[in-house]
Structures are given as C-alpha cells and as structure tokens.
C-alpha cells in the first residue's frame, strides 16, 4: 500500500506541475493590470498612511483613487470611515485596477473597520490577478464586499487574486468567474498566507482549482475559522470551500461549506476537490451536493486525496450515497456521514471534544453549528450565590488575533436556565470595557430576574457578541437563595441572678450554608453596631462579667448574603463582689508590750445592700509581746457567691532607732582631678544588729570641679525606726598652679570601668583606639566627656573609640553628639552646655537572663543564639553633679557594634541573622549585620539606629511550596533574618501578591530603623488601629512613599513592580549609596514603554544595581503585581548592595 501511494503521488506531482506550467504560460499571454490615470475627482485628504494616522476613505472616488494611483499607496495603511457604494458607477469608462500585482504587491494594511464595499465589478476575462486586490502581501481585515461581481482569468478572487499576507474577518457576496485558481474570496492562498474568520456566499465558476472560498491553498498557508455558502462549479478540482489544498504546511481547520460543488472531469468534494502531500484538513463539515463526475472522483468531503491528511470531518448523507472521499491515498480518521438533523445536534460533534465547544456554537433556532468569532472567551467564572442581598459577579477574559476587534469593548449575552434547561431569562451587556489584559467583569442583580423566582440551582450560560458572529458558549452553575438563616437559643434568658450567662446557639440555612456567625453581649435589646465576636454553630456562648440585665445578640449570614438577627430574653448577672472596708488604720502599729483591740470591718453589696457583720469572717492573731508583723484576714461573700477579702497588717515594733557612725573623718579634702573613694559608715541597731549594708548615701562628689560637697548617710531598721542623718563634707581643692605665663586648664579624663585614662595619651591621628575592659558582675562601662570627643574630632573627624569586652564591642564615633536627636533641647532643659556632659556606654552580658531567653525562643522558634546576648546602653551624664539627665536610645545615623560568635565553626551558617530585642512588644527584630572573620573566630558586625539588647542567631527556615525555584535562596535567607514570614502550614505562597502596606512594613523592617510609635495618620485610609500604622508612618517620614499622592494610601492595593522600584530607589537615596555615572539601556524590554514616566529612572537604577530584573529577558512588566517571592529577592539584593549583609 505504501508503494502504491508513493507511485500515485509521483504521478500526481508531475500532473500538477504540468497544470501549473500551462497556467503560467497562458498567463504570459494575458494582459496584467497596470495603473491607470489618477482620478481628478478623488483625493485622500485625511491621514498620512501611517500606523498611527492611516488614510481615511469615505467615498467611492477616494477608494477608486487608491486603485488607479496605487504605486504610491502599496505600503500604506487605510481605514474605511463609511460604507463605499459603487452603485451606478460606469465601469466601462472608469474600470477598476486591482490593487497590487505580482511585480508590486500590496504590502500595507487595509482596515475595513466593519464597513462594506457595494457594487464593485471587474469584467476582464483576460485579466490575471483579478479582484479588489490583485496581489496581497499585507493585511486586509474587517472588510465586506456586497454585490461584488468579478470576472477574470487565472488567480481570481472577489477580494484578492493572489494572497501571501493576512486576511481577517472579510466576506464577499455576489459572483466570481475565472479560468484556473478561482475562489469566492481568494484565488490563490500561498507563501504563508492566512485566511481566517472569513466567509463567502458568492457563486464561483472556473476551469480548474475552483473553490467556494479559496481556489488553491498552497504551501504553509492556512484557512482558519472560515466557511462558504455559495455554489462552486468547474471542470476539475472543484470544492465547496477550496478547490485544491496541497503542499507542506497547507492547513484547513475549523471550516465548513454548504454550497453545491459541481465538476465535469475529476476531483470534486464538499470541502475540497483535492488534498495533496503535506496538507492537513480537520474539524470540517459539508452539506452541499457533489455532482458531475464518476463516483471515484467525488466525495462528500474530498474528491481525491494523494497523501493528504483529513481528520474529524462530517458530510451530509441526505439524498446521496457518496462517501468521505472519491479516492483516498492519504491519511484519514474520525470521518462520518450524517443526516441534516444529526448535524444540527451537539452530541454529533462530541468526538471533537474541546475543539468543538471552544470554537463552534449552536444557534437557538436549531440550525447548523456556527463558527465562533475571532474573539475568544476564556477563564469565565462567577460567584455562586445570588440573592436580594448579594449580586452575582461574573468575570472572564476576552482575546482576539486582531487587537482592533476589542478596542470598543465586548458585547456579552447571558442566559439563566433552570434544572430542566428551560430558559428563565436572557440578559445582555451591550458593551463591556476591557482592561489592558482583556479582562472584563459585570454583575447580575437579583432584581434583573423575573419575579417570583424559586430558590435553587440554575445554569448560567455566557457568550460574547463578536464583530461577525457569536463566540463559543461558556457555562457555570449558580444558586439562588433568598431565605435567611434560622437562629435558635437553647437557653433564652435567665431571670434568677447568676455570675454567668450561657446559651448553646445553633444556626442553620436551607439554601446554602452559614458563612458568618457572630455574637455580642450588650445591656440593650437593640441590635449593636459593633463588638461582634465570631463563633461556630453549636458553641456555648457565655457572658462571665458585668451586672444587671444582659442580652445575647446573634447575627448569621449565609453564603448568599442573607442576614438574620436574633436577640435572647434578658439574663440577669451579678459579678461584683461586696465592698469590704476595714475599720481603723491599716497598717496598724503598736509598740512592744502594748494592747491590740480588734476594730472589725464593714461590708456592703451593690445588689444585696449592707451585709451583717456576722457574715464577715476574721482570722489571724497578734502577739503584742513579740516584735514582728502580723496579718489579720477578713472574708465575706454576697448572696450570689461573689467573695471579697482584705488583710490588715499589724506591726509590733521595738521603738528603738538605729545609730550611724562615720568611717574615717567627717571632713575630707581631695585635690581636683584626683580619685575620691568614700570610706562609708557603719550602722547598728539593738534588735536588728548590723545594718551597714542598708545605709543609703545621698549626694555625689565631682573631683573634676573644685568645691564643697556633702554626703548624707541614712538607714531605717525593720520596724521603720529611722536613724538620725549623719553628714560627711568633702572639699575638692584646685590643683596647685606652677609659675607659668598662662594658666593650667584642669583635664577631663576617660573613665574605663573605674580606671581613669588621660585623653592626651591617645593618638587621634590614627583611625581608632581600642579600650578593652574587664567585666565586673557581667558588665563594663566606659564614660567619655563630650568635650574630649570634640577635641578628637578636631584632629580626625573619622576617629573611632572601640570599646571592647569579652562578649562584645562598640564603636563610639567622635561625632556622637550630632547623632543623638533632641540632645540640644535636653541640654537647654538642664541649663547645660555641650562641654558639661559625658557619654557613658554600659555593656552587659544578658545571656543568662531567662526572660530574654524566653523572648528569643518565642520570636524565633527555630532560632538558636550563636553569640552572647549583649545589652548596650548609652547614658548622658552631667559632669558637674554626676547625675544622669537622659539616655541616648536612638540615633540619627547608625552606630556599629560587634558580637563574637561563640560556636566553633569553619564557616558561618547560611541562615543566620542579627536581632535586637524590642522592649515594647517583647520580640526580637532584624538588624543589618555582616559576618567578619577575626583570627580563627567569627564576629557579627551589626549597625543599629538604637541601643538595646542584641544577639546573633542561627535561624533555619524552610517552606514546602518553594520547589527549588529561582526565588528559594532569597526567600530562605530573608525568612532566616525575619524579613518575611510564611502564611502558615509550612508554606510561603511565593506567587501571592504583596500589598502596599505589607511592602512598606517589610521595607522599614529591612532598614532596621524601627517603626514610629503613634503620631498623626499620614493618610485618611491608614487608621491608627491598623497593624501596619506605625510602619507606614515611619515609611512616610523616611520619604519612601512619594508614589502615594494626595490623602489616600490604598494600603490593601497590590504594589506594582514600578512602585516597588520607586520605593527601593528612595532607600538608596536615604542610605546615600555612592553611584557611578554609567548609563544602562532598558531597550531590551519590549514593554518598557509601559513604565510610567515618573518611575523610568527608578527602574533604570534598580536594573543597573541588579536589585530588580525583568520577569523574562524581554519583559519587565512594570504594571504587574509584586509577588512575595520578588519582595524577598529585592530585600536581600538591596541589603547586599548597601553592604548591610553578606
């Protein structure tokens, strides 16, 4: 069989080559069209012929000028602005010249814009390439030809004789006659030509290769979604749709023909007379009669197949005995004949599957299937429930191969049918506006349905009204539910006072299900406006506080939006305990050996009134002979069981006061700038013994400032007896002044954990000095006068004092004073100058603090500290008095600290971070940090805008939904540093969009600056009780929200990628990142023109810094929504660009 097919194929190819050769030879003796004189009456005075500004054609004269003056118009763009009517035109005097020839094809764009050309006529039997267009290598679309009559030679078609371009949504009605390669719309479709969404009702006649739509469909050319209804007649290779389809890549798909095909020699078919090697024809049907040649030369679908492919095809069997083929030497499958009645039923086409349902539709009148328009409906879906309270939301997406099809929107038809598929109502949306991606949305109100209408399930059918026919049908199921939920209380009120009110509440719904169920307890039967709490049907709802009458309100809402409110009868509650007042004093003191007389107590209750004294229980005893503290307990209960208790403290005291004795002299003289050590005092008491450790000393001695100072010593024994105050006087005398031409200025010293250091011994010309201190009780301090820092700054503005302990170090800059916000105001409030203060840094090892350890475990459940937990505190101290006047707990510019990594490791773990303890909310938060190798050990070097408690933590985090994608390393690292969180269940949802509020909060967290607590709302829609309020306030202060114009922030709106670029560019400016001047081109992104003008340079900067890239090599998608994966990636890249992390 294969050999037979091969021989026949060779014979066919030789035969067909001979046919083409004869055709072309004859064409050599046929006069081709040549441009005639330019019409004086015509004139294209609108448009420039460009894509942006096409020539507008409004009259027959103007269209005729394009014909006769075509040499200047062949590469131009045109658009019909009205129907063109040639009725009454004298074609003998002013004949039509087909636009384009084989020597000079039409390569422009002719847009009929849905208009028609009426009465075009060509009567030149010797003319090759005959038609409105002779040779088209451009695009012809949305154009109709009515009452068209074309008579030519070979390559003849109503629209074009020869097509290598694109024909979209075109049709013809009239007649076409020619020699060879004759079609109702196109003579020859070849060279990659496309005919789509087009049709012809013209009657066609010729000799060979005659088709109702196309005469000959050749190599790599396609006929898609098209049909013919006119009759075709000729001698050989005659088809209701196509005379001949042959060659590699020749395709006919989704097409039909209803006209008759009549031939006299051979190869006649309802769809095609002949299909040859390399061609494919599929998803077609034909209903016209096939006649004129022997049975083996004609078929209901194809007359002759020579190695062609034909699949999924039906032909009409009524009144005929023909099969699918006359002769078949090709490939075939899924072919069958059917009656007209069968062809009008959808189940006949079930074997075509989605190829039928997505591309065809059945009219309501029961006629033959029709092709869907070029507009395709996809992703059609709707909400489920419809009621008086809730509209139905219907969404979908429309697309077309020609963007102009949708520029005026989409017409939509909606049908609601009941369970018996009977139509309930038809609704229309004449024009739905589409967004940039073709998405549309509409709503259906309950009031649009005929009333009354029963609750229950209904089918929703949707199809679009395209430019020529309807689109394919899409269906979904909805439910109408107008019944409110039913609410029941098992306990409906309680008249007897009790401490608790409770009722088991159930809510049911027959039409759908209960979607929301909330309750509220109030002291009014009126429905409350707020204060609702969610619960589940069958739960026991309790009120355990309050007095008086309480009402249980329940609100149930079903899936359809129907709401039911119910209120119980009153529950009477009494939850206030009695008021117990002790008679006499409390505490009560009596001297040793005195007498204790019980004064008793009085009890009253808001509900029961005064309670008898007999109901008050008294327990406990007092021994007046024994010094000590005794407790007398009083207890009482009201009738509802509410209890009250009170305790009286009775102190039996000794009455003897302790005595204080100074150690050393009461007057001590110290030379200025010399150390002073207080010798202290001793305190003794008859009953308590030695109370020296309890002595309180008031006053300070500042040896840097000459003068007289007083130290007061006080102590109190356990009975409260206070000793007489003892005072010591300390005189600080000036240092002796040696004979000199100028006075000696007393020096200020650096105090390193009690060791005084002369600043003169420090070389400030070097980059830094290290002051290493030995801890005392897990703590060290270094105190530096502000004037010393100023003196160092005058010599070296970049000088640093590195304060080092075994568990951490801290770099104090010489411009520290300028980094402390509000310092000037603090000095003014205390009447001080800048030289009157010193800065005291204290470092404390908090690793053993259980509260801090618990907070770390709660904040980072997977985390483990790999360093000491160190507290850094900065105090501002008055040099003259030694008094602390304030703390420097925040800085305008970040300070640096380092914590040693105590675990032995060759390399730092991939997932680690530095964290600061937030004392306000009790959690650990991210601070930027880098790993630095110091000898054989690692150090976590962090930068922070606040003081506090810091630690380096290994924090491994993983998510189950990352699947080794491009973003996984970024997400894992960002999560380890607590910059991003999962959504629960071990998942991250990388493709979920990020809102403006979420990104602003994460960005403030990334910078490690903390959030501004309180303050005025920066936008009307950012409420103070919102979780993101403080972060948005801080982001606004830092200048990161310039994209949000006016008084609305739209916190819940997804952040676009260009907005993200703008925020990140603001971060680079805030952190003063040095920039190079190299220019980065964005031309590689095909959609870069979609970037808003205000964001273009921000996008360029992000691409230059490699913080952001396109979603592909050719697409940036500036208006696309930012995803959680993209957010994690840009945070890590931005921090690395700024040098804040490794």
pLDDT, tens digit, 9 for 90 and up, residues 936-949: 889 999 988 888 99
Phi, psi of 979 (to 5 degrees): -80, -30
686 by DSSP, 3-state: which? coil
Same domain assignment for residues 212 and 247: yes
Task: Give domain status of residue 393, yes or no.
Answer: no
Q: Which tens digit of pLDDT belongs to each residue from 308-336?
A: 999 999 999 988 778 888 888 989 999 99
* Gap between the Cα atoms of 307 and 671, Å rounded: 118
Please tell me whether residues 411 and 554 are part of one structural domain.
Answer: no
Tokens of 876: 């501002």
Q: How many of the other CB atoms lie within 10 Å of CB of 772?
A: 14
Q: Of the residues 334, 361, 388, which one is the last residue of a structural domain? A: 361
Segment 663-713, tens digit of pLDDT = 777 788 888 888 888 888 888 776 777 888 899 999 988 988 888 999 999
Nearest to 60 by CA among 38, 76, 82: 82
Q: Residue 623 belongs to what domain range?
A: 579-653
pLDDT of residue 11: 33
Burial 920-949 (b: 16+ CB within 10 A, else e): eeebbbbbbbbbeeeeeebbbbbbbbbbbb
Does residue 875 lie within any of the structural domains? yes
Position 337 in a domain: yes
Question: Closest Cα to residue 689, out of 711, 718, 662, 665?
Answer: 718
Taking the C-alpha atoms of residue 587 and residue 599, their distance in angstroms, rounded to an integer, is: 12
> How many CB atoms are located within 10 Å of the residue 223 CB?
31
Can you tell me the mean pLDDT for 165-169? 96
- What residues are paired with 876 via a beta bridge? 839, 886
Residues in CB range of 852: below 8 A, 6 or more apart: 846, 869, 917, 949
pLDDT tens readout for residues 48-91: 999 999 999 999 999 999 999 999 999 999 999 999 999 999 99
Share of the chain above pLDDT 70, in %: 93
Tell me: the pLDDT tens digits for 573-587? 888 899 989 998 898
Mean pLDDT of 467-475: 60
Residues 799 and 845 grouped into a single domain: yes
Q: How many CB atoms lie within 10 A of CB 367?
A: 11
What are the tens digits of pLDDT across the range 383-430? 778 888 888 888 887 777 676 776 666 778 888 888 777 777 888 787
**What angle (nearest 5°) sits at the alpha carbon of residue 193, between those of residues 188 and 198?**
80
- Asked, for residue 510, whether it belongs to a domain, the answer is yes
Query: What's the CA gap between 960 and 166, in Å, rounded?
Result: 49
According to DSSP, the residues that pair with 627 across neighbouring strands are none
Q: How far apart are the first and last CA of the chain?
A: 72
- Contact residues for 560 (Cβ-Cβ < 8 A; gap 6+): 385, 386, 387, 389, 390, 479, 480, 481, 482, 511, 512
Same domain, 494 and 465: no
**Structure tokens of 799?**
């000088």
Please answer whether residues 601 and 633 qualify as being in contact, where contact means their C-beta atoms are separated by less than 8 angstroms.
no
Are residues 644 and 533 part of one domain?
Answer: no
pLDDT value of position 9: 33
* CA–CA distances in Å: residue 732 to residues 698, 707, 708, 787, 1074: 17, 5, 6, 22, 53
Burial category of 479 from C-beta neighbours within 10 Å (exposed 0-12, middle 13-18, buried 19 and up): middle
> Which segments of 258-404 are extended strands (E)?
261-262, 266-269, 272-275, 280-286, 290-291, 298-299, 302-316, 325-338, 360-361, 370-371, 376-382, 385-386, 392-399
Confidence of residue 473 (pLDDT cuts 50, 70, 90): low
Phi, psi (degrees; rounded to nearest 5) at 1137: -60, -40
Q: Which two tokens stand for residue 757?
A: 């250091």
Q: Which token pair is 692?
A: 């020296």
**Residue 486 pLDDT > 90:** yes
Residue 1057 falls in which region: left (phi positive, over 0), alpha (psi -120 to 50) or beta:
alpha
Return the half-sphere exposure (C-beta side, CA atoms, 13 A cut-off) of residue 1031: 17
Flag whether pLDDT at 1119 surpasses 60: yes
Burial class for 825, CB neighbours closer than 10 Å (0-12, 13-18, 19+):
exposed
Shared domain check, 525 and 414: no
- Pair 645, 665 in one domain: no
Distance CA 1098, CA 1066 (A): 9
Between CA 863 and CA 885 the distance in angstroms is 38
Q: How far apart are CA 229 and CA 184, in angstroms?
A: 10
Same domain, 634 and 676: no
For the segment 488-511, the average pLDDT, to the nearest whole number, is: 92
Residue 500 lies in a domain: yes
Mean pLDDT lowest among 39-43, 293-297, 765-769, 933-937: 39-43
**Number of structural domains in the chain:** 7
Q: Are residues 777 and 791 in the same domain?
A: yes
In the predicted structure, residue 557 carries a pLDDT above the cut 90: yes
Same domain, 1116 and 1032: yes
The residue behind tokens 């305190």 is: 683
Q: What is the pLDDT of residue 736?
A: 64
Judge whether 810 and 897 are in contact, CB under 8 Å.
yes
What is the model's pTM? 0.48
Angle between helices 1057-1070 and 1096-1104 (to 10 degrees): 70
Please report whether residue 619 resides in a domain.
Answer: yes
Query: DSSP secondary structure string, 337-360?
Result: EE-HHHHTSGGGGGGGTHHHHTTE
Q: Which of 573, 604, 623 is the last residue of a domain?
A: 573
DSSP letter for 523, please: S
- Give the per-residue pLDDT at 743: 36
Q: What is the pLDDT of residue 434?
A: 75
> Residue 671, Cβ neighbours under 10 Å: how many?
15
Q: What is the pLDDT of residue 863?
A: 92
The span from the CA of 7 to the CA of 5, in Å, is 6
For 710-764, what is each residue's pLDDT tens digit?
A: 999 999 988 788 888 989 998 888 876 543 333 333 448 899 988 888 888 899 8
Strands (E), 852-921: 864-865, 870-878, 884-887, 890-900, 912-918
Q: Give ∠ CA 992-994-999 in degrees, rounded to 5.
A: 150
Domain match, 75 and 196 both: yes
Residue 353 to residue 284: CA distance in whole angstroms: 14
Looking at the structure, tell me whether residues 281 and 406 fall in a common domain.
no
Rg of the chain's alpha carbons, rounded to an integer?
47
Query: Cβ distance 1008 to 890 under 8 Å?
Result: no
Q: The CATH number of the domain where 696 resides is what?
A: 2.60.40.10
Dihedrals φ, ψ of 761, to 5°? -80, 0
Top pLDDT among 180 and 31 is at: 180
887 vs 204: CA distance, rounded Å:
98
308 vs 277: CA distance, rounded Å: 5
The more confidently predicted of residues 468 and 183 is 183
Structure tokens at 505: 């509440």
Q: Is the pLDDT reported for residue 33 higher than 90? A: no
* Contact in structure between 1102 and 1038 (CB atoms under 8 Å): no
373 within domain boundaries = no
Beta carbons of 1130 and 1123 less than 8 angstroms apart: no
The pLDDT of 232-245, averaged and rounded, is: 96
Q: Of the residues 573, 596, 611, which one is the last residue of a structural domain?
A: 573
Q: Write down the pLDDT at residue 381.
A: 80
Q: Is the pLDDT of residue 1011 over 80?
A: no
DSSP state, residue 968: H
The pair of structure tokens assigned to 1005 is: 């967290």
Question: Which residues on neighbouring strands pair with residue 460, listed in sequence order?
Answer: 416, 476
Of 110, 141, 236, 132, the residue nearest 176 (C-alpha): 132
Residue 386 lies in a domain: no
**Percentage of the chain surpassing pLDDT 90?**
55
Cβ neighbours, 10 Å, residue 622? 22
Q: How crowded is the C-beta side of 858, counted as CA atoms within 13 Å?
A: 12
């Amino acid at each position: 069989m294969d050999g037979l097919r091969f021989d026949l194929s060779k014979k066919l190819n030789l035969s067909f080559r001979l046919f083409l050769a004869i055709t072309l030879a004859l064409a050599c003796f046929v006069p081709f069209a040549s441009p005639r004189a330019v019409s004086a009456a015509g004139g294209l005075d609108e448009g420039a012929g460009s894509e942006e500004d096409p020539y507008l054609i409004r009259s027959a004269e103007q269209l005729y000028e394009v014909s006769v003056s075509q040499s200047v118009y062949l590469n131009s763009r045109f658009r019909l602005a009205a129907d063109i009517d040639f009725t009454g035109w004298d074609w003998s005097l002013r004949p039509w010249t087909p636009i384009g020839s084989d020597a000079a094809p039409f390569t422009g764009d002719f847009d009929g814009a849905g208009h028609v050309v009426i009465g075009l006529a060509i009567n030149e039997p010797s003319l090759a390439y005959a038609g409105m267009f002779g040779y088209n290598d451009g695009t012809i679309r949305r154009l109709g030809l009515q009452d068209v009559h074309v008579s030519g030679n070979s390559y003849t078609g109503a629209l074009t004789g020869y097509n290598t371009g694109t024909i979209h949504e075109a049709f013809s009605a009239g007649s076409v006659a020619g020699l060879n390669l004759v079609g109702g719309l196109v003579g020859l479709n070849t060279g990659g030509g496309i005919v789509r969404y087009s049709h012809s009702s013209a009657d066609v006649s010729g000799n060979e290769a005659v088709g109702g739509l196309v005469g000959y469909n050749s190599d790599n050319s396609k006929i898609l979604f098209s049909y013919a209804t006119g009759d075709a007649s000729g001698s050989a290779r005659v088809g209701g749709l196509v005379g001949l389809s042959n060659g590699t890549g020749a395709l006919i798909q989704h097409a039909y023909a209803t006209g008759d095909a009549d031939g006299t020699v051979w190869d006649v078919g309802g769809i095609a007379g002949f299909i040859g090697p390399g061609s494919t024809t599929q998803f077609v049907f034909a209903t016209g009669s096939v006649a004129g040649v022997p049975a083996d030369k004609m078929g209901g679908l194809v007359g002759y197949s020579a190695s062609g492919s034909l699949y999924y095809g039906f032909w009409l069997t009524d009144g005929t005995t023909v099969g699918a083929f006359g002769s078949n030497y090709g490939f075939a499958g899924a072919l069958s004949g059917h009656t007209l009645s069968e062809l009008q039923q959808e189940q006949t086409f079930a074997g075509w599957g989605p190829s039928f349902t997505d591309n065809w539709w059945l009219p309501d009148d029961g006629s033959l299937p029709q092709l869907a328009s070029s507009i395709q409906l996809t992703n059609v879906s709707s909400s489920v429930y419809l009621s008086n309270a809730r509209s139905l939301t219907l969404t979908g997406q429309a697309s077309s191969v020609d963007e102009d099809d949708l520029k005026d929107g989409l017409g939509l038809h909606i049908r609601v049918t009941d369970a018996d598929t009977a139509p309930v109502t038809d609704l229309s949306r004449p024009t739905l506006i589409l967004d940039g991606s073709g998405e549309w949305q509409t709503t259906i109100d309950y009031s649009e349905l005929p009333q009354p209408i029963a609750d229950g399930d209904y089918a929703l059918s949707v199809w679009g009204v395209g430019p020529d026919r309807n689109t394919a049908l899409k269906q979904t199921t909805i439910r109408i539910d107008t019944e409110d939920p039913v609410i029941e209380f098992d306990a409906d009120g309680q008249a007897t006072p009790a401490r608790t009110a409770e009722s088991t509440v159930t809510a049911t719904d027959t039409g759908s299900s209960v979607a929301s169920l909330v309750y509220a307890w109030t002291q009014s039967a009126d429905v409350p406006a707020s204060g609702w709490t969610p619960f589940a049907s069958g739960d026991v709802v309790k009120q355990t506080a309050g007095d008086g009458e309480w009402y249980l309100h329940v609100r149930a809402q079903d899936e359809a939006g129907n709401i039911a409110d119910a209120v119980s009868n009153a529950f009477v509650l009494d939850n206030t305990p009695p008021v117990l007042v002790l008679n006499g004093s409390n505490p009560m003191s009596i001297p040793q050996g005195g007498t204790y007389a019980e004064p008793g107590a009085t009890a009253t209750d808001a509900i029961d009134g005064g309670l008898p004294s007999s109901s008050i229980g008294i327990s406990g005893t007092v021994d007046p002979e024994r010094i000590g503290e005794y407790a007398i307990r009083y207890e009482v209960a009201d009738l509802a069981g509410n209890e009250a208790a009170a305790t009286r403290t009775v102190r039996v005291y000794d009455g003897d006061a302790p005595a204080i004795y100074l150690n050393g002299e009461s007057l001590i003289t110290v030379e200025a700038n010399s150390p002073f050590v207080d010798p202290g005092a001793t305190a003794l008491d008859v009953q308590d013994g030695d109370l020296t450790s309890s002595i309180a000393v008031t006053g300070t001695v500042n040896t840097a400032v000459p003068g007289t100072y007083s130290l007061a010593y006080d102590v109190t024994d356990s009975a409260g007896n206070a000793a007489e105050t003892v005072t010591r006087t300390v005189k600080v005398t000036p240092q002796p002044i040696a004979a000199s031409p100028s006075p000696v200025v007393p020096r200020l010293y650096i105090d390193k954990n009690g060791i005084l250091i002369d600043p003169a011994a420090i070389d400030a010309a070097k980059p830094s000095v290290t002051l290493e201190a030995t801890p005392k009780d897990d703590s060290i301090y270094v105190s530096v006068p502000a004037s010393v820092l100023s003196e160092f700054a005058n010599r070296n503005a970049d000088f640093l004092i590195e304060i080092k302990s075994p568990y951490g170090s801290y770099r104090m800059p010489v411009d520290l004073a300028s980094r402390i916000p509000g310092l000037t105001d603090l000095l003014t409030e205390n009447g001080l100058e800048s030289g009157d203060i010193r800065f005291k840094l204290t470092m404390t090892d908090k690793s053993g603090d259980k509260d801090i350890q618990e907070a770390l475990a709660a904040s980072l459940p997977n985390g483990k500290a790999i360093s000491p937990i160190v507290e850094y505190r900065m105090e501002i101290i008055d040099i003259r008095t030694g008094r602390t006047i304030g703390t420097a707990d925040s800085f305008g510019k970040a300070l640096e600290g380092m914590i040693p990594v105590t675990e032995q490791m060759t390399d730092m773990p991939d997932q680690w971070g530095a964290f600061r303890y937030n004392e306000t909310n009790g959690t650990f938060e991210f601070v930027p940090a880098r790993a630095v190798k110091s000898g054989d050990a690692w150090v976590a070097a962090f930068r922070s805008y606040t003081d506090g408690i810091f630690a380096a933590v290994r924090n491994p985090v993983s998510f189950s939904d990352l699947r080794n994608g491009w973003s996984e390393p970024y997400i894992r690292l960002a999560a380890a540093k607590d910059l991003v969180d999962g959504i629960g269940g071990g998942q991250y949802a990388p493709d979920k969009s990020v809102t403006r509020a979420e990104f602003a909060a994460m960005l403030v967290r990334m910078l490690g600056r903390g959030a501004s607590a309180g303050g005025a709302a920066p936008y009307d829609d950012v409420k103070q009780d919102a979780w993101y309020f403080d972060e948005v306030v801080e982001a606004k202060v830092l200048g990161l929200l310039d994209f949000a114009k006016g008084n609305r922030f739209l916190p819940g709106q997804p952040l676009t990628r260009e907005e993200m670029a703008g925020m990140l560019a603001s971060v680079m400016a805030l952190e003063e990142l040095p920039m190079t001047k190299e220019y980065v081109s964005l031309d590689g992104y095909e959609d870069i023109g979609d970037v808003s003008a205000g964001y273009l340079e921000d996008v360029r900067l992000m691409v230059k810094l490699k913080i952001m890239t396109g979603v592909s090599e050719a697409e940036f998608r500036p208006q696309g929504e930012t995803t959680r994966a993209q957010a994690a990636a840009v945070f890590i890249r931005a921090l690395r660009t700024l040098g804040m992390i490794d």
